[in-house]
């Protein structure tokens, strides 16, 4: 959960990028880090394996300025997507305020997206949180791969398979080239802030 420091007039909130392995969660954060480097004063933290896969999490603190007189600090995290790291994913979800689900648009990853979304629902439930109530944005990543002839799932199919019940805002994106990465982030930040409004009195 977010922490409101009434003395320092500061709000810290946690947004987690979730999704299947090799889906582009870290690439999202890397793009944000590059794009906003003048506003992000610290280094992005990435705990990776030698094979460049996320082992624990990536972390990017992002100051978004003042809202109602409070300094708002958004803490962006990613989880390791690989199935075997579920304990780590659950650990990173602790105290989460908003989630971006980064789905892989490649046809061959259809099943992996569905499993990862179910896993998110299950892990949120361990913290008494519902996937239907938490601020959530879906991102259909890797749309640029169609230019290389790689078969992608049409957005309508992705919407049907992942978002038919959730009805969360969704974006077609390419984290690698940056398409809609910032839009996704802005949307989750505004939804998270809206859900925390009552805390900022």
Q: Segment near another protein (CB under 8 A), from 91-99, 116-124, 135-143, 159-167?
A: 91-99
| Nearest by Cα to 101 from 125, 82, 120 | 120
User: Could you tell me if 77 and 16 are in contact, meaning their C-beta atoms sit under 8 angstroms apart?
Assistant: yes
Member of 87, 164, 165, 201 binding another protein (CB under 8 A): 87
Considering the complex, what minimum distance in angstroms separates the CB of residue 99 from another protein? 14
For another protein, the closer of residues 92 and 134 by Cβ is 92
71-74 long-range contacts, CB within 8 A, separation 24+: 71/8, 71/9, 71/10, 71/11, 72/10, 72/11, 72/13, 72/193, 73/10, 73/11, 73/12, 73/13, 74/13, 74/15, 74/189, 74/192
Q: Please state the closest distance from residue 143 (CB atom) to another protein, in A.
A: 30
94 contacts another protein (rule: CB under 8 A): yes
Tell me which of 18, 33, 77, 101 binds another protein, using CB under 8 A: 77
- The one among 91, 108, 115, 177 contacting another protein by CB under 8 A: 91
Q: Does residue 182 touch another protein according to CB under 8 A?
A: no
**Contact set with another protein (CB under 8 A):** 1-8, 12, 14, 41-43, 45, 56-57, 59, 61, 73, 75, 77, 87-88, 91-92, 94-96
């Amino acid at each position: 959960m977010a922490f409101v420091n009434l003395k320092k007039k500061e709000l810290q909130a946690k947004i987690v990028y979730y999704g299947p392995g090799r889906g582009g969660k870290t690439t999202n954060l890397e793009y944000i880090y590059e794009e906003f480097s003048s506003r992000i004063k610290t280094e992005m933290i990435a705990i990776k394996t030698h094979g460049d896969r996320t082992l624990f999490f990536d972390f990017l603190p992002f100051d978004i300025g003042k809202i109602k007189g409070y300094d708002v600090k958004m803490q962006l995290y990613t989880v390791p997507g690989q199935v075997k790291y579920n304990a780590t994913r659950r650990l990173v979800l602790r105290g989460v305020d908003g989630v971006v689900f980064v789905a892989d648009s490649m046809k061959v990853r259809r099943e992996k997206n569905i499993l990862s979304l179910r896993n998110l629902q299950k892990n949120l439930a361990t913290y008494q949180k519902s996937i239907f109530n938490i601020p959530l944005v879906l991102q259909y990543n890797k749309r640029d791969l169609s230019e290389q002839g790689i078969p992608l799932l049409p957005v309508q199919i992705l919407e049907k398979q992942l978002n038919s019940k959730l009805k969360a805002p969704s974006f077609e994106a390419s984290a690698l080239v940056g398409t809609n990465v910032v839009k996704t982030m802005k949307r989750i930040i505004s939804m998270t802030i809206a859900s925390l409004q009552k805390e900022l009195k």
